Amino acid sequence: MPVLSLTEGSFAKHLKCRECGRAYPLDPVHVCEFCFGPLEVFYDYGAMGRAVSRERIEQGPPTMWRYADLLPCNREMAVDIGTGFTPLVRARNLGRLLGLERLYIKNDCQNPTWSFKDRVVSVATSVAREFEFDTLACASTGNLANSVSAHAARAGMKARVFIPADLEQGKIIGSAVYGPTLVAVDGSYDEVNRLCSEVSDKYPWAFVNINVRPYYAEGSKTLGYEVCEQLGWRAPDHCIVPLASGSLYTKIYKGIKELAWLGLIDWRATRMSGAQAEGCSPIAEAWNRRSYLIKPQKPNTIAKSLAIGNPADGYYALKAMSESNGAAAIVTDHEIVEGIKLLAETEGIFAETAGGVVISGLRRLVEDGHVNPEEVVVAFITGAGLKTQEAVLPAIQPALHIRATLDSFEQALEARDGALPLARGA
Ligand SMILES: *Cc1c(COP(=O)(O)O)cnc(C)c1O
Ligand SMILES: [Zn+2]
């Protein structure tokens, strides 16, 4: 096993157990030996605060690596395929429809492998190289597999990628094209993940979401940083985030808090709300029971990217939800498709099923009075729709199929719309 400790060129100081607070050196480890709590990266915030400034960040590259000072790796080692600094779009049409005055969409479809997973994998790959691993691996619900495969290719590493066998075509091809060893497992994500824990114990590979998970997870903070910078160095009032393991959700919150600690923004007590699909909603279900005890579920939903029945960070997500005065929404598969269509038809953004969960989840939260109409609301759209075409196929209007004549066109149009549109000069 590589024994190199990460210290050079980063303000990361040590790993720290989230339960008992014990410190560990910056190694590829993820659980506390004493209490089995998860480890998290802890920084020298004093030194970080002296180094960072809005100006320094603004002069950085137009990618997530403009925040390198706030990440646990050496910026010289960054494996950067152009991830991050994705558009924050003012959603006036959708906002009007939902009764929200200041709604924004953070469009993370526009990453190199079309999902926010490039953020976490970019950090994990960089760290894996610092630790001198030659193989990058993961247990994935789909998007992670795409991103690990692409980053391993770029870093010249081998990739071993484990997925549930029943994934969408778009996600299988979107991994296979980069040439990884793609392993399709008969079983749910939770079974894939359990298998990968065993594989990870046996083989010296960098499993991005197992042994290097503490570093990996930090990549999601950049979504929080970007949104604040793009709002003119101002925190949103309310974030709506999709929940799978709960990691993304907790790290967006951590990112916003860090900017406030560092004095780069004012603290505004940002509220953190989450959304899940009915067929896999262990975190939202616990929230509705007002309990911190998560009951694992057997997933059955079209939102496969969020189909984690036993969420590793669920407890911490519930704590953040409670601390931030947020809420959780649960939406049906039918509502997921409606949400995808609504976002596409109002704002021209084609999201995958996780985006449908967020948009319909937001709608539910507004209806239930959890979102104040004047709040600056940011809905996080974390993956692109071309990967999950199966989900919307039954809901889209078929094309008018015609012969290549004006006559055939007009017949078809009239048959569908009941009348022809006004002609020129009519
Ligand atoms: C992985 C994923 C998430 C959420 O992941 P967490 O496990 O909660 O960090 C959200 N959206 C998409 C599209 C994803 O692929
Ligand atoms: Zn511990």
**327-373 pLDDT per residue, tens:** 999 999 999 999 999 999 999 999 999 999 999 999 999 999 999 99
Strands 12-17 and 206-207: unpaired
C-beta of 305 in contact with ligand 1 (< 6 A): yes
Q: Which residues contact 178 (CB under 8 A, 6 or more apart)?
A: 146, 149, 150, 152, 153, 159
Separation CA 332–CA 276 (nearest Å):
9
Q: For tokens 């960089």, what's the residue?
A: 126
SS3 180: coil
Cβ count within 10 A of residue 201:
10
Q: What is the pLDDT of residues 213-229, one digit of tens each?
A: 999 999 999 999 999 99
What spacing in Å lies between the alpha carbon of 26 and ligand 2's midpoint?
Answer: 15
Nearest ligand 1 atom to alpha carbon 220: 9
Burial 214-233 (b: 16+ CB within 10 A, else e): bbbbbbbbbbbbbbbbbbee
Q: Average pLDDT, whole number, for the chain?
A: 96
Query: What is the C-alpha end-to-end distance of the chain, expressed in Å?
Result: 78
Asked if residue 117 has its Cβ within 6 Å of ligand 1, the reply is yes
Of 60, 83, 248, 72, nearest to 154 by C-alpha is 83
CA 358 to centroid of ligand 1, rounded, Å: 11
Q: By alpha-carbon position, which residue is closest to atom 1 of ligand 1?
A: 305
Amino acid 353 reads T
Report whether residue 354 contacts ligand 1, using a CB cutoff of 6 Å. Answer: yes
Rounded to whole angstroms, what are the CA distances from 90 to 3, 117, 321? Answer: 47, 23, 25
Contact 416/408 with Cβ under 8 angstroms? no
Distance separating alpha carbons of residues 16 and 45, to the nearest angstrom: 14
- Neighbouring CB atoms inside 10 A of 333's CB total 18
Supply the pLDDT for residue 3: 41
Q: How far is 268 from 271, CA to CA, in rounded Å?
A: 9
**For residue 174, what are its two tokens?**
């979107």
pLDDT in tens, 279-332: 999 999 999 999 999 999 999 999 999 999 999 999 999 999 999 999 999 999
Q: Is the CB of 383 under 6 A from ligand 1?
A: yes
Q: Is the CB of 382 under 6 A from ligand 1?
A: yes
pLDDT level of residue 76 (50, 70, 90 thresholds): confident
Distance in angstroms (rounded) separating the CA atoms of residues 104 and 92:
8
- Centroid of ligand 1 to alpha carbon of 247 (angstroms): 8
d(CA 40, CA 313): 12
pLDDT tens by residue, 140-196: 999 999 999 999 999 999 999 999 999 999 999 999 999 999 999 999 999 999 999
**Predicted pLDDT at 2:** 41
Q: Are 349 and 108 in contact (CB under 8 A)?
A: no
pLDDT at 5 over 60: no
Q: What is the mean pLDDT of residues 107-111?
A: 98
**Rounded to the nearest whole angstrom, what is the distance from the C-alpha of residue 413 to the centroid of ligand 1?**
41
**Is residue 344 within 6 Å of ligand 1 at its C-beta?**
no
Is any ligand 1 atom within 6 A of the Cβ of residue 248?
Answer: yes
| Ligand 2 centroid to residue 17 C-alpha, Å | 5
Query: In the predicted model, is pLDDT for residue 6 greater than 70?
Result: no
Distance 318 CA to ligand 2 centre (A): 20
In a 10 Å sphere around its CB, with 0-12 CB exposed, 13-18 middle and 19+ buried, how is residue 182 labelled? middle
Structure tokens at 294: 């998560």
DSSP state, residue 206: E
Residues in the chain: 426
